[in-house]
Amino acid sequence: MNTPYPSPLAPFRVIGLLGGVACGKSLVASIFAERGLGVLDADRAGHEALRLPHILAAARSRWGDEILGPDGRIDRGRLAKIVFDSGETGARERQFLERLTHPEIERRLIQEANRMFAAGVSAVVLDAAVMLETGWDKWCDKLVFIEAPRTIRLARALARGWKEEDFVAREAAQKSLDFKRGRADVVIDNSGSTEQTRAQIERCLPTLLR
């Protein structure tokens, strides 16, 4: 993305979360929130972006009404079947979706960051599955990799109602786990209990905020 790091507008300490599909980024973000950090949720911003009239119109023009749910809004599950399809077709459609939505997602994240800054928040967590792909990692002072074995992550995804092929397709569309882990300043093991994860965050928080 070409939008500059928003520190001139909101000089936060920014902690970015990296990890595989269903590694538990939302849980980790919620634990940081317990300690008073703001949370910038790119997935939620993506939900909101898909409801915008101009994005809905462009998506319908590209993919037709088959992507719509009974309420007339974009059904993310139906859209995902197109953009996460294997091969060049899925990659091409995913690139179109990203060009359509990522500028709006970015705008919303920066807008939310500015709102938090005005409210007195001094540090935020950025939860974005495609952080490295978009370049939003450049906004971050520190990067945290959330680790969990594939078997655990797959079980979590299945519990959400996904199929294994959905899990595989989404993971294939992201940077490799080794690449993400190599970019991180801190690694948190989220394969155990919530309390074990919380304890690790408590230990590393002073370093992340320093």
Specify the CATH superfamily of domain 13-209.
P-loop containing nucleotide triphosphate hydrolases (3.40.50.300)
Helix (H) or strand (E) holding 17: strand 13-19
Burial of 72 (C-beta count, 10 Å sphere; 0-12/13-18/19+): exposed
Report d(CA 204, CA 190) in Å as an integer.
14
pLDDT digits (tens, 9 = 90+) for 125-150: 999 999 999 999 988 999 999 999 99
Tokens at 27, concatenated: 């849980």
Q: How far from 80 is each of 66, 67, 124, 166, CA to CA, in Å? A: 12, 9, 29, 9
Note the pTM of the prediction, 2 decimals. Answer: 0.90
In the DSSP assignment, the letter for residue 21 is T
* Dihedrals phi, psi of 186, to nearest 5 degrees: -140, 140
Query: What are the domain boundaries of the chain?
Result: 13-209
pLDDT in tens, 34-93: 999 999 999 999 999 999 999 999 999 999 999 999 999 999 999 999 999 888 889 999
Crossing angle of helices 87-118 and 53-63, in 10° steps, is 180
Element (H, E) at 128: none
Integer-rounded Cα Rg, in Å, for the chain is 17
Q: Is pLDDT of 163 > 70? A: yes
Query: Could you give the CA distance from residue 30 to residue 24 in angstroms, rounded to a whole number?
Result: 10
